Structure 1
């Protein structure tokens, strides 16, 4: 698939990896035009059978995404405060990220606050640069709350107390602290961050797409509070059998055995 006509994202795809670099100067504001392009990108990546991994990073070494455009909040009608039965545009996009049947990786280098944090929290994996990355939620200080999923995803990642420290305190969280809390998966020096992610993405992209999608579904089952352990194990078993039933999987299994898998020489040679 050819990814064309993007104005605010630089997109390139090869080797099973789609890299989308946000380039919306001066501060990579998460505004309607950028959200629209992200939404279109997600649809195209989902439809691209060649892509197994989506990486999103920034063209600005100091800013990943400053925050969401304030006009997205200001334009909300003051007489519409009831509980809705449909997701907002922002929520719908973050859910598209979370449920994309491909692996998704956010590479954060620089400032990432508010809606930027809410977007990356929907990704499967988050990696950030030490010394430059700051995450934060300043919304409460201006009389609102995080409204792009921050109050729902952050507590699941870091716990209630730490989430409230970030949200109520309006504090910036550096990359090292974010890693310790589980806000991101790894904090790495800026000069090694992308190399690490590229190696990881290449390894994931070498795997069958069906196995990647099934693994994501199985892991998400474990995080669904409505599903008990026994039910989760049954779903895992079903997903395993679905992958094993694929002829391509059986060929891969036969190939690995023929290559010497399950021999001492093979297993120790992989160290």
Structure 2
């Protein structure tokens, strides 16, 4: 794979395992460019029969994916191009990234060492498996504090993974969940001591890549992802109604003024968002 064309990703392959390192300083927000590059990278990997597993990690130990860029709608041209090129009918650009992960022919694994909020949390839940550092990882759907709801499939992934009652808790509180709680809820596979996370994920990825020919494909075919198209449409309609309102604009602009999308502000983003709302 040619990795030189990517500005927000680093892609390497070895022994049947591809590693994609997410790298969009300073806090790994999900920009339209990153979404386009993920789409391109996953498309290239899907066509590579030598790859059986794709592992995602972050170049920033504190932030896996902070969340979607709060100014992503200013990148409308790139979003429109994404929708035209890759999004299935009725699926928005954010949901399309999740669908790529959920339907990818190879096994997708997230190695979560830092925080994943909003679209970052959706990315984690869309992958086949996710393992998190017990001491440092956190995951949360913060959108309600921004005056919106998840729009990248988060409502649907949560209901499927953790059940309606816990999905309501995660979406309506906007709280950041620690790795042990996320694992107990079923949001991620398990929490692992931070010092062991790299070796743990590497072992799982290598063992899967070493399985006899046809096993990975057979398992993924008999355990397909659920069809979420109806839920996606409902999520998109609800999000669109809120994002156009004055509260969402006020809250996100206020958050940016208070330090959102900076390393300092993102460390305690939930408290920052609540302060910005006052």
TM-score normalized with structure 1 length? 0.76
| Residues in 1 aligned to 2:74 and 2:171: alpha-carbon distance in whole angstroms | 20
The more displaced of 30-39 and 203-212 is: 203-212
Which is greater in Rg? 1
Offset of 1:210 from its aligned partner? Answer: 2.9
| Residues in 2 aligned to 1:169 and 1:156: alpha-carbon distance in whole angstroms | 19
Partner residue, 1:49: 49
**1:187 aligned to 2:191?**
yes
**Does 1 or 2 have the higher relative contact order (CA < 8 Å, sep 6+)?**
2
Partner residue, 1:58: 58
Partner residue, 1:91: 95
Partner residue, 1:229: none
Partner residue, 1:112: 116
Partner residue, 1:237: none
User: What secondary structure is seen at the aligned counterpart in 2 of 1:121?
Assistant: helix
User: What secondary structure is seen at the aligned counterpart in 2 of 1:164?
Assistant: helix
Offset of 1:63 from its aligned partner? Answer: 0.7
| Residues in 2 aligned to 1:24 and 1:7: alpha-carbon distance in whole angstroms | 8
Query: What 5-or-longer segments of structure 2 have no aligned partner?
Result: 77-87, 229-278
Offset of 1:217 from its aligned partner? Answer: 1.8
| Residues in 1 aligned to 2:187 and 2:107: alpha-carbon distance in whole angstroms | 18
Partner residue, 1:201: 205
Supply the RMSD in Å over aligned alpha carbons: 1.9
**1:167 aligned to 2:147?**
no
CA contact (8 A) 1:53 1:103 kept: yes
CA contact (8 A) 2:137 2:178 kept: yes
**1:139 aligned to 2:143?**
yes
Query: What 5-or-longer segments of structure 1 have no aligned partner?
Result: 77-83, 226-271
Partner residue, 1:67: 67
User: What secondary structure is seen at the aligned counterpart in 1 of 2:223?
Assistant: helix
